[in-house]
Amino acid sequence: MNALHIRHLTHRYGLEDVLSNVSLDLYAGETLALVGPSGCGKSTLLHIVAGLLTPSEGKVVSGFKGLGCMFQQPRLMPWKTTVDNIALGLKALSVPAAARRRQAAALALRLGLEEDDLQKYPHELSGGMQSRVALGRALALAPDLLLLDEPFSALDIGLKLELYGLLREQAQSRGSAILMITHDLMEAVRLADRIVMMAADPGRLVREFKLALPQAVRTDSWIYQTTAELMQVEEVRVGFGLQPGNLASLTVLNEEAPHKGCRI
pLDDT in tens, 76-122: 999 999 999 999 989 888 899 999 999 999 999 988 899 999 999 99
Provide the percentage of residues in the chain whose pLDDT is more than 90. 58
Q: Is the pLDDT of residue 252 over 70?
A: no
Tell me what the pLDDT averaged over the chain comes to.
87
Element (H, E) at 100: helix 97-110
pLDDT in tens, 114-153: 999 999 999 999 988 998 899 899 988 888 999 999 887 7
- The pLDDT, as a whole number, for residue 63 is 92
List of E strands, the chain: 3-13, 16-27, 31-35, 57-62, 67-70, 145-149, 177-182, 194-199, 204-210, 251-254, 260-263
Indicate the pTM of the whole model: 0.86
Q: Is the pLDDT of residue 258 over 50?
A: no
Position 15 confidence tier, pLDDT thresholds 50, 70, 90: confident
Angle between helix 127-139 and 157-174 (nearest 10) = 10
The domain 3-66+142-263 having CATH identifier 3.40.50.300: the answer here is yes
User: Residue 5: beta bridge partners?
Assistant: 25, 61
| 25 or 174, which is more confident | 25
Chain centroid to Cα 262, Å, comes to 21
Q: Is the pLDDT of residue 257 over 50?
A: no
Rounded distance between C-alpha atoms, residue 19 and residue 117, angstroms: 42
Angle at 179 between CA 186 and CA 212, to 5 degrees: 55
